A = this chain, B = another copy of it.
Amino acid sequence: MAITLKKIAEMVGGTVSGDENVLITGVGSLTDATRGDISLFYDYRYREYLKKTKASALLVSKVTALYKGPQVVVSNPLLSYARVAALFAVPTPTFPGISERATIHESSVIGNNVSIYPFVYVGENASIGDHAILFPGVFVGDRVRIGERTIIHPNVSIMHDCVIGKEVIIHAGAVIGSDGFGFVRDGSTNVKIPQMGFVQIDDQVEIGANCCVDRAATGKTWIKKGVKTDNLVQVAHNVTIGKDTVIVAQSALGGSVSIGDSVIIGGQSAISDHVKIGDRAMIGSKSGVAKSLPPGEIVSGVPAMPHRIWLKTRGLITKLPDLVKRLRVLEKRVDELERSTNHSGHDND
């Protein structure tokens, strides 16, 4: 596909500086772009790449003299880039209808124009929305509902009674609706507490590869509209995640955790059972959050502390040996002072 820079500028509401008739055939970062690609420049730290880039045009927030080719000025180059890239992206490959090698229970309702690849299993009384794509190895349990235009990548397991919205993307290997981790001791034995709820994933959510989202003990584990999780994230039973929240790889949300809207959770973080995180809070990578946070709070560390304190603290940890030494020196000096002061008769004992 080839498209003029002029058309691209129109699409993203930008203005062209330079030759607007250049034909664009793809996208790329400053270092990856080849001839015909449009790239983007929005972070001054990458200005060194501007001279060497092979990109045929740039999306920029203001015209830069460091690049000779045509530039499209937009308010948010990265956002415009995302929109332009979508034009050139390989569309998700579809399968013409329902494979004869898929096994679908006769009681289930399958929408129009679906792609159901070989080796997909759909249980009883499930429903699959129009234009949904189910890749090979997908398991859909009994009574599961999957919305329109949702894409379920290979080897994903969606256990019974879960509800998946429209335009959801679930990446390969993820497990939705596994049992929550609930046991009660009877002497030394752990007795299983039946996990009788389900998982509800709302529209436009994206779940990363090999993530696990457990079903609720009773009621539902609920991931609201527009949430995005990276890979290998653990969501325990009865968690609620608010709209548009972003969770980076390998984080874990404990049982009954409640996350607000538009929260950002850094990688390898952990949030303890029953904790509530307010809207727009930000949690740094590798944090351990054991207490609830108000809206807008920014924390880091284990235990999580206000990010500005953490910035001061983290450097000091490496200075602990030095602090101990200074303390020891000071103790000796005070010993000496006390001795000499006593010498001269100032003993107050």
Q: Which chain A residues have a beta carbon within 8 Å of chain B's beta carbons?
A: 27-29, 31-33, 76, 78-79, 81-83, 85-86, 88-90, 93, 99, 101, 103, 117-119, 121, 123-124, 135-137, 139, 141-142, 153-155, 157, 159-161, 169, 171-175, 178-179, 181, 183-186, 188-194, 196-197, 206, 208-210, 212, 214, 216-219, 226, 228, 230-232, 234, 236, 243-244, 246, 248-250, 252, 254, 261-262, 267-268, 270, 272, 285-286, 288, 301-303, 305, 309-310, 312-321, 323-324, 326-327, 330-331, 333-334, 336-341, 343-346, 348
Q: Which of B117, B135, B178, B346 contacts A340, CB < 8 Å?
A: B346
- Min CB distance A126 to B, Å, is 12
Q: Shortest beta-carbon distance, A44 to chain B, in Å? A: 14
Complex alpha-carbon distance, A196 and B28, angstroms:
9
Tell me if A159 and B172 are in contact (CB < 8 A): yes
Docked-complex contact A27 and B196, CB < 8 angstroms: yes
The smallest beta-carbon distance between A143 and chain B, in angstroms, is 9
Q: Whole-angstrom distance between the alpha carbons of A123 and B29 in the complex?
A: 28
Chain B residue contacts of A137, Cβ below 8 A: 119, 121, 137, 139, 155, 157
Chain A contact residues: helix, strand, loop or mixed: loop
Give which listed residue, B79, B89, B184, B348, contacts A79 with CB less than 8 A.
B184
Of the A-B pairs whose beta carbons lie under 8 Å apart in the complex, a sample of 14, sorted by A's number, is: A28-B218, A32-B197, A90-B160, A135-B139, A181-B228, A189-B244, A190-B226, A192-B206, A272-B285, A305-B318, A312-B320, A313-B320, A333-B334, A341-B346
Q: Is the CB of B341 within 8 A of A331?
A: no
